[in-house]
Chain A
């Protein structure tokens, strides 16, 4: 029922077929798990901002809704902050402004406007959506069906992880290493566990016509959303989406990757139940749960990277913070058979040691 309103809107057309690419690696017959993406990926629902403004409401009715929504946001006070470090009224009111931005044609409601305002969802739905935001703690990004990330607007929906601002930096790290390394810039990259396709698209914008990227995910929902986002950004010739578990869909490119980038699930299992409601109740566990100490996938990827990367290849992983970073660095320096060099810890914008980067010798 919750998503019933989206049915009936045409999803912008995109071809599910993945075209073969100019790159020699990608011209090879794809392994079976990658072709399964073609059949199992699903069309995402349409983000509010992409819908046609086929609804309308009078200025006064819309203002009435806005006041109601503001009051509801204000009534939250610091309840959610105290409960689980969730959003406060200030943040919720800011989200409300963004919601108005996405559903109105002009991006705002102002008294100078005509008495009838064209909307991308009905007024009734607006009430329902804001109630879901406050009462069910449904994440704002799932309400509007998108997230602004770097200079991109990425479509996102339930079942697919909302890209985080911290992760924006992974793209900068790649931009840095390719800026003075032609071999890496023109090589083949992999974004493992791509979700919305955020990292792959960010890197794709940088590599453009030079390199190629394979973005993988086990979740068919993620594959559907990532495929859509890649198409929407016109990067279908740069990014290929493959479905499957970690390295399994990449057997044909073993030892050939110029770079591997990943933000795999890294939350320790016993933290999941205590997460902020927006995350714990609404985002997919498969995208968050990294096993007992949160390191299962990170270690698996790290081990696999040794044989997937070509000599000189680059590696960048996002982690849960300092503890995981150190663990990973230690693994790379002592247990990985001397395969990695220049192992580096990189902080995120908040100063938390978030990323580990390294090169294959």
Chain B
């Protein structure tokens, strides 16, 4: 359990911890580029939402993504519902950068002092708040303001995939194409027309990842159940989940909440 956000973010470099306090779920995950930490906050949280001060405290670490949500979801439920089966969550990911940006509020680091020609200092952190879901993505480690905005947008896409759930009808389930594309070739339901397996480094991976999480949530975190729907062995699906840090984190968080053992 971590109570001070500042030390939390700095100390957890490369480590993995999950915990909740004050209705605030926090997870930090080591990711390929180079550390990703996510904080999920429930509506009833006593603390204010993101503040400048928190950003200032945290500018020392590589970058952070804060996730918060609003709406009438209980504070233990950290997921945003993408809508009643209307796949709104998926549609966010299909928006162009410009369209997605239009749904966001952009905040940037408020530097003290006059700035401009006076200063040689890169306080170019960017924070994007996706207004429909309340999800927040931030980037601070790039070398230009502009590139930080691009990074924040890319992270927002990942967070939307991780955090926005679409309802799945298990009785009539057939995996969408984006999901089939991230499955290994040995899946019995994956036709050869899906092309080569799309890995976590490919930007298209997040679409498949979102659909996979939708399924895993629908089956209550059971990997063996989900594997059956995908024509995979339980082991093969576990390996796929473990291949991406953020995917693993979210699946494990769900499993822990359901009293299941986390995947290792």
Could you list which residues of chain A lie within 8 angstroms of chain B, going by C-beta atoms? 85-87, 90-91, 94, 98, 139-141, 147-152, 161-162, 164-168, 263, 265-267, 271, 275-276, 278-279, 283, 287-288, 318-321, 348-352, 354
Contacts and interface: CB of A to CB of B under 8 A. Distances in A.
Contacts of B124: 165, 349
B142 interface: yes
Nearest to B141: A94
A229 B124 CA distance: 23
B109 to A, nearest CB: 7
Nearest to A93: B60
A321 B144 contact: no
Given A90-B60, A150-B144, A168-B146, A354 B116 contact: yes
Given A149-B144, A151-B147, A165-B145, A278 B116 contact: no
B118 to A, nearest CB: 6
A279 B114 contact: no
A164 B117 contact: yes
Given A91-B121, A349-B108, A351-B110, A98 B116 contact: no
A265 B117 contact: yes
A134 to B, nearest CB: 14
A347 B220 CA distance: 48
B118 A90 contact: no
B116 A164 contact: yes
Interface of B: 59-60, 108-111, 113-124, 126, 141-147, 150
9 contacts: A152-B144, A164-B117, A266-B117, A267-B118, A319-B116, A320-B114, A348-B116, A349-B109, A350-B110
A78 B124 CA distance: 20
Contact of A321 (B59, B114, B122, B143): B114
A82 to B, nearest CB: 14
Contact of A320 (B117, B121, B143, B144): B117
A89 to B, nearest CB: 9
Contacts of A278: 120
A258 to B, nearest CB: 24
Contact of A166 (B115, B126, B142, B143): B115
A149 B126 CA distance: 15
Nearest to A322: B114
Nearest to B60: A90
A276 B123 contact: no
Contacts of B150: 151
Nearest to A294: B117
A205 B114 CA distance: 29
A147 B143 CA distance: 8
Contacts of B142: 148
A139 B141 contact: no
If over half of B's interface residues share one DSSP class (helix, strand or loop), that class is named, otherwise mixed; here it is loop
Contact of B115 (A161, A265, A348): A348
A148 B150 CA distance: 14
A271 B114 CA distance: 11
Contacts, number: 98
B117 A321 contact: no
A265 B124 CA distance: 22
Contact of B59 (A85, A90, A283): A90
A148 B113 CA distance: 22
A351 B118 CA distance: 16
Contact of A168 (B60, B141, B145): B145
B3 to A, nearest CB: 22
What 6 A-B pairs come out closest when comparing CB atoms? A148-B143, A349-B108, A150-B146, A278-B120, A90-B60, A165-B145
Given A320-B116, A321-B114, A351-B110, A87 B146 contact: no
A140 B120 CA distance: 9
Given A165-B122, A165-B124, A349-B109, A151 B116 contact: no
Contacts of B60: 90
A281 B14 CA distance: 39
Contacts of A283: 120
Contacts of A288: 117
Nearest to A108: B34
A350 B111 contact: yes
Given A150-B146, A321-B115, 13 more contacts: A90-B60, A98-B143, A139-B120, A148-B142, A148-B144, A276-B120, A278-B120, A279-B119, A348-B115, A349-B108, A349-B109, A349-B124, A352-B116
A151 B123 CA distance: 17
Contacts of B113: 85
A168 B142 CA distance: 14
Nearest to A150: B146
Nearest to A97: B141
Given A85-B113, A348-B115, A350-B111, A151 B144 contact: yes
Nearest to A267: B117
A94 B148 CA distance: 15
A10 B130 CA distance: 48
B144 A276 contact: no
A166 B122 CA distance: 10
B114 A352 contact: yes
Contacts of A152: 144
Contacts of B147: 148, 150-151
B121 A161 contact: no
